[in-house]
Chains A and B, each alone.
Chain A
Amino acid sequence: QQPVQSPQAVILREGEDAVINCSSSKALYSVHWYRQKHGEAPVFLMILLKGGEQKGHDKISASFNEKKQQSSLYLTASQLSYSGTYFCGTAANAGGTSYGKLTFGQGTILTVHP
């Protein structure tokens, strides 16, 4: 079953912050976040493993709440280059291991204006 992302779209001005959420009804092994620009392939941002960890990369960070099967992506002080569609991909938990395949959400369109 496909994870649900919210919101579907976000419009920001440069320097503003945004949060994108990803919820699954399945027990998850990992959550993967990607950004995709129009006509291009998805670009890997970060991976979070079960255990409630939080990761950060420059001004983009993410958290994974294993109990709620939810992940959130935090974009702070947004830049024009952050514009694109953000996807979460989830790997289901099967006996403590992942089979590897990702199930992607429907995407969140982020637009950053000057």
Chain B
Amino acid sequence: DTGVSQDPRHKITKRGQNVTFRCDPISEHNRLYWYRQTLGQGPEFLTYFQNEAQLEKSRLLSDRFSAERPKGSFSTLEIQRTEQGDSAMYLCASSPKVRLGETQYFGPGTRLLVL
């Protein structure tokens, strides 16, 4: 049973460039979440999907950010025209949809540094 995987694990880019991250959830988990974590803070919710439907987006997610989950399996998070303030750890989590609450399992994260 493999866990949540993310790719790449590290990304260094120059300001203004576009970057794309990939998340592969645990097999058969139909909920997928993206969070962002900066140093010394807890993860902040960005968006989540149930199957291929994007059900909620945080106000943190500016129009430079877009996420997709085209076939209800893996997801991508794209940041356009990156800014230095985008430097953070981007975490993906998945959960099964069960009636009495869901445990979210996190992937290893993608650490982004914008120069």
Contacts and interface: CB of A to CB of B under 8 A. Distances in A.
Interface residues of B, number: 25
A106 interface: yes
Interface in B77-97: 91, 95
B56 A104 contact: no
Given A99-B56, A100-B33, A44 B42 contact: no
Contacts, number: 62
A102 B101 contact: no
A91 B103 CA distance: 11
Contacts of A40: 108
Interface residues of A, number: 25
Contact of A87 (B31, B33, B42, B105): B42
Interface string A97-110: 01111111111000
A87 B55 CA distance: 24
A32 B106 contact: no
A89 to B, nearest CB: 8
Interface string A28-52: 0110101000001111100101000
Nearest to A31: B101
Interface in A3-49: 29-30, 32, 34, 40-44, 47, 49
Given A41-B108, A42-B91, A100-B48, A105 B42 contact: yes
Given A47-B101, A89-B104, 18 more contacts: A2-B42, A29-B101, A30-B101, A40-B108, A41-B91, A41-B106, A41-B109, A42-B43, A44-B104, A44-B105, A49-B100, A89-B42, A89-B43, A98-B102, A99-B56, A100-B102, A102-B33, A102-B104
